[in-house]
Chain A
């Protein structure tokens, strides 16, 4: 094709037989393929359609980014303690984001009405949770088997005691009605994940079970929950849950929402896990059976560890959806992160025409950071699995 090929080898090839004399040293690629210009030609301007798309995207960036930067950074107000600080003044006619408001109310956004002197408990909870998440997410972490126990048993119990309080160990009771903000959003998401995954696994196994009754129950549950919106599930949980207990029983409002969210997420997790189970070759089951492992040991030691591993990206994606969906718990009167912003933006101390935009921008950034982080993690795991890391 190119002139590089015209070497002595070419002459030798003319005969019917060929024996390599000199080994060929590797050469650098032809110029047009390498470097910035080569990259641009290949990726941005390879065809007419590509050229058009490149121009449209460039236009979009030029159109959107400067005003965003101007609003979020250049015109933003960073210092202040009352609404007047975020109103236009003659020397500052254009007002951007009022970060002073966010900074002023950040504790409210984080803890809601959690008593100020008890907020360290929430911080400890955040640390416990973060430790658990890192232990689970870091694929090469030591003793991940213990990590599973920590994440699904130890941490939930300790957190429950910590957040709710237990007078016996000197922790004052804090009713869930005074929880709020990021705390509630994180609690709802974390509980959703911690419970939905095991329940989802059981449902997924049930759906593949040999026993018709178990299979039928799993299918009905999964299809029913997936067939209705989360709001419906939340309403049902908050209205129907009390009906299952004794007449005087009135379960905690937050608990009702948690049950609703967990069951909802479990149905989705079940389908995600089922897809993972389906990817495990029949030979794995046969090998496990052939060495005498029973159903539960086969599942627990052979099938699930492999299935869950390849399912991690999808589990994370479901988690992202769940994390965002938790904003719907306000419907049943739970004071989550978005609700604290709602409450703060109409607070007369800060209410200005532009304050809502600031509040929602902050919420958007908050959700974006977490969801993007999770999404990156899912991509990372995917790439690692694709690289054929058989561990």
Chain B
């Protein structure tokens, strides 16, 4: 399926088939009676970096988890690079292959070594040969600057190293889009930077990224647009400079005053 021309494939983000990476159109979701996502409309274009922020419980995680179907939406449409997410299991697996995800708590596989964590999906899902998968994995470990940890188990690494492994694990699948759900909020302060640096480099390579984070420095530096959510709705979307310097909505102003003081 993939066109792999050079020696090691998949070092650049895989090209999107369409110009629109993610299209959320009138998406609603309920947990029981609780209306957690209300009429979400968001179009993310190729190589765009979106930062999503908002108070706790506003539905940020739920929204990006809908994009790779870890959560199911009940109304509206979600189209990922031309593929609409419906109840077709094949399609869902196809989307998941192309969408990498990084979690707040890393969720590395503790019974596998770092290298095995990275090669598992390429071997079993992408059907790569073990040797090729390991080569690619080592390349990404170098990119996240921990090639020397390949043979260790996740439990033997620091939080920052684990999160970088998690990023490398997602990259090994050669994704078109990367989702980050608060990738630094479980980390000690001195490790936040190493993970953010990794993400900045990823952005420089042109990866399409949706990042839930409260790291406003990162948002300023990297984001094309910032999405502010509250109570399951998108309240404000703007470019970083305008968002921080001149927020429009009352709720945004309050939120920013609380986290920036």
Contacts and interface: CB of A to CB of B under 8 A. Distances in A.
Contacts of B75: none
Given A309-B111, A388-B155, A391-B153, A290 B105 contact: no
Interface string B101-113: 1010101111100
A247 to B, nearest CB: 45
B169 A291 contact: yes
A283 interface: yes
Interface string A264-293: 000000000000000001011011111111
Interface in B104-137: 105, 107-111, 120-121, 124-125
Contact of A293 (B101, B121, B155): B121
B27 interface: no
Interface string B208-243: 000000000000000000000000000000000000
Given A306-B110, A390-B154, A391-B111, A290 B68 contact: yes
A302 interface: yes
A81 B117 CA distance: 64
Contact of A390 (B101, B124, B156, B170): B156
B96 A284 contact: no
Interface residues of A, number: 21
A294 interface: yes
Given A305-B111, A306-B110, A290 B101 contact: yes
A287 B125 contact: no
B124 A290 contact: no
Most interface-central of A291, A305, A306 (chain B CB within 10 A): A291
B93 to A, nearest CB: 5
Given A284-B107, A284-B109, A390-B154, A292 B173 contact: yes
B53 to A, nearest CB: 22
B175 to A, nearest CB: 9
A46 B119 CA distance: 56
Contacts of B120: 291, 293, 301
Given A301-B120, A388-B155, A294 B110 contact: no
Most interface-central of B107, B155, B156 (chain A CB within 10 A): B107
B91 to A, nearest CB: 12
B124 A286 contact: no
Interface in B144-196: 153-156, 169-170, 173
A291 B107 contact: no
A147 to B, nearest CB: 16
A297 interface: yes
Nearest to B124: A297
Contacts of A290: 68, 70, 96, 99-101, 103, 170
30 contacts: A283-B103, A283-B105, A286-B70, A286-B103, A286-B107, A287-B101, A287-B109, A289-B68, A289-B69, A290-B96, A290-B99, A290-B100, A290-B101, A290-B103, A290-B170, A291-B100, A291-B121, A291-B125, A292-B93, A293-B120, A293-B121, A293-B124, A293-B125, A294-B93, A306-B109, A306-B111, A388-B155, A390-B110, A390-B156, A391-B111
Given A284-B107, A301-B124, A390-B155, 17 more contacts: A286-B70, A286-B103, A287-B101, A287-B108, A288-B109, A289-B96, A290-B70, A290-B170, A291-B96, A291-B173, A292-B93, A292-B121, A297-B125, A302-B109, A306-B111, A390-B110, A390-B153
